[in-house]
Amino acid sequence: MNNDNMKANESERIGKLETAVEGIRADFDSLDRKVEKVLDAVNRSQRTDWQTIFAGLIVIGALWASAIRPINADVEKQAVAAAKLAEAVLVQNKSIGELQVDLRGQSRDMASMEKDIDLIRQYGTPVTDKRITVLEYRMGEVQPEKSIPAK
């Protein structure tokens, strides 16, 4: 479902971008016509029509402010977001690697503990052995071993 949301978001962004590009194209066409008019006016007369040139510059500035600048700002934001996402992926991959190493160590420890438990089940523990021996002595089941005097 997250993948579907991402595709829908991408489609929406692509649609907005297409609309912006079409608007830019229309603005450039309009600008081209105005520049041609300015050039025709300049070529027809020797005097410069500063009002027309100034209007053309204002149109170019408005075009930049309305279309090109927002697209550049959006591209910069996306580049920053992509860099942050790449950094987060690297951190996550490092964490996953560390967890895998920990998991291998825990698996070895678990195998060692299981082996110890099997030995205890098979042979018992020294503490249990001593207690059973003490109980056997108290009940008279086993006679204590006589110590051999040292020479």
Global confidence as pTM:
0.35
Cα separation, 131 vs 99, in Å, equals 43
3-state secondary structure of 11: helix
Give domain status of residue 147, yes or no: no
**Average pLDDT, integer, range 45-50:** 69
CB crowding 61-90: b at 16 or more within 10 Å, else e: eebeeebeeeeeeeeeeeeeeeeeeeeeee
Provide the 10 A C-beta neighbour count for residue 113. Answer: 10
Q: Domain of 70?
A: 2-139
Give domain status of residue 108, yes or no: yes
The residue with greater pLDDT, 33 or 11, is 33
Domain count, the chain: 1
% of the chain exceeding 70 in pLDDT: 87
Give domain status of residue 145, yes or no: no
**Average pLDDT, integer, range 60-84:** 86
Give domain status of residue 150, yes or no: no
Cα separation, 107 vs 101, in Å, equals 10
